Amino acid sequence: MMASMLYVITLHGLTASNRYRRGFSHSNPRFKTLVVPARVASVFPKVKSQSSDSKSTTAIDFSDPDWKTKFKNDFEDRFRLPHVTDIFPDAASMPSTFCPNLRLVSLRFLRNLSVINPRTSNFPGNYPLDENWQGYINDNDRVLLKTIYFSSPTSAGAECIDPGCNWVEQWVHRAGPRGTIYFKPEEVKAAIVTCGGLCPGLNDVIRQIVITLEIYGVTKIVGIPFGYRGFSDQELTEVPLSRRVVQNIHLSGGSLLGVSRGGPGVSEIVDSLEEREIDMLFVLGGNGTHAGANAIHNECCKRRLKVSIIGVPKTIDNDILLMDKTFGFDTAVEEAQRAINSAYIEAHSAYHGIGIVKLMGRDSGFIAMHASLASGQIDICLIPEVPFNLHGPRGVLSYLKYLIETKGSAVVCVAEGAGQSLLQKPNATDASGNTVFRDIGVYTQQETKKYFKEIGVHADVKYIDPTYMIRACRANASDGIFCTVLGQNAVHGAFAGYSGITVGSCNTHYAYFPIPEVISHPKLVDSNSRMWHRCLTATGQPDFI
Ligand SMILES: Nc1ncnc2c1ncn2[C@@H]1O[C@H](COP(=O)(O)OP(=O)(O)O)[C@@H](O)[C@H]1O
Ligand SMILES: O=P(O)(O)OC[C@H]1O[C@](O)(COP(=O)(O)O)[C@@H](O)[C@@H]1O
Ligand SMILES: [Mg+2]
Query: DSSP states of 518-540 as a string?
Result: HHSS-----TTSHHHHHHHHHH-
Is 130 one of the annotated binding-site residues? no
- Work out whether strand 308-313 and strand 501-506 pair parallel, antiparallel, or are unpaired: parallel
Test site for ligand 2: of 261, 312, 314, 316, most ligand atoms within 8 A of the Cβ:
316
Test site for ligand 2: of 320, 467, 519, 523, most ligand atoms within 8 A of the Cβ:
467
Ligand 1 atom closest to the CA of 196, numbered from 1? 19
Maximum C-alpha span of the chain: 83
CA–centroid distance, 294 to ligand 1, in Å, is 11
- The answer to whether the CB of 365 is under 6 A from ligand 2 is no
Strand arrangement, sheet containing 410-415: 380-382, 410-415, 353-359, 460-464
For residue 476, the model assigns a pLDDT of 98
For residue 23, the model assigns a pLDDT of 27
For residue 18, the model assigns a pLDDT of 30
- The answer to whether the CB of 470 is under 6 A from ligand 2 is no
156, amino acid identity: A
Distance from the Cα of residue 45 to its chain's centroid? 21
Q: What is the pTM of this model?
A: 0.88
For residue 58, the model assigns a pLDDT of 56
Bridge-partner residues for 224, per DSSP?
193
CA–centroid distance, 522 to ligand 1, in Å, is 13
Question: Rounded distance, CA 150 to CA 166, Å?
Answer: 8
- Residue 239's φ and ψ, nearest 5 degrees, are -105, 115
313 Rama class: left (phi>0) / alpha (psi -120 to 50) / beta: beta
Contact 340, 447 (CB under 8 A): no
Query: What is the Cα gyration radius of the chain?
Result: 25
For residue 3, the model assigns a pLDDT of 34
Which runs of E-coded beta strand occur in 145-255?
171-174, 180-181, 189-194, 220-224, 239-240
Burial call 244-260: b when 16+ CB within 10 Å, e when fewer = ebbeebbeebbbbbbbb
- The answer to whether the CB of 315 is under 6 A from ligand 2 is yes
For residue 40, the model assigns a pLDDT of 30
Question: Rounded distance, CA 41 to CA 31, Å?
Answer: 17
For residue 15, the model assigns a pLDDT of 37
CB atoms within 10 A of CB 322: 24
The catalytic site residues sit at: 317
Start-end of H helices in 63-199: 67-79, 84-87, 107-112
How much is the ipTM here?
A: 0.96
For residue 179, the model assigns a pLDDT of 95
Q: With CA atoms as reference, report the closest residue to 228 among 187, 189, 273.
A: 273
- Protein residue with its CA nearest to atom 20 in ligand 2: 362
Ligand 1 atom closest to the CA of 430, numbered from 1? 18
Ion ligand 3, residue ranges at CB < 5 A: 286-288
Contact 289, 229 (CB under 8 A): no
Test site for ligand 1: of 284, 289, 364, most ligand atoms within 8 A of the Cβ:
289
Bridge-partner residues for 436, per DSSP?
428
- Ligand at shortest distance from the CA of 469: 2
CA–centroid distance, 496 to ligand 2, in Å, is 32
Burial class (CB in 10 A: 0-12, 13-18, 19+), 489: buried
- Protein residue with its CA nearest to atom 14 in ligand 2: 315
- The answer to whether the CB of 430 is under 6 A from ligand 2 is yes
Mean pLDDT by groups of 10 residues along the chain of 545 residues = 32 33 26 30 32 44 93 96 98 92 52 47 50 83 96 90 92 97 98 98 98 98 98 97 98 98 97 98 98 98 98 97 97 98 98 98 97 98 98 98 98 98 94 95 98 98 97 97 98 98 98 98 94 97 97
For residue 100, the model assigns a pLDDT of 78
Contact 91, 82 (CB under 8 A): no
For residue 60, the model assigns a pLDDT of 86
Contact 192, 257 (CB under 8 A): yes
- The answer to whether the CB of 226 is under 6 A from ligand 1 is no
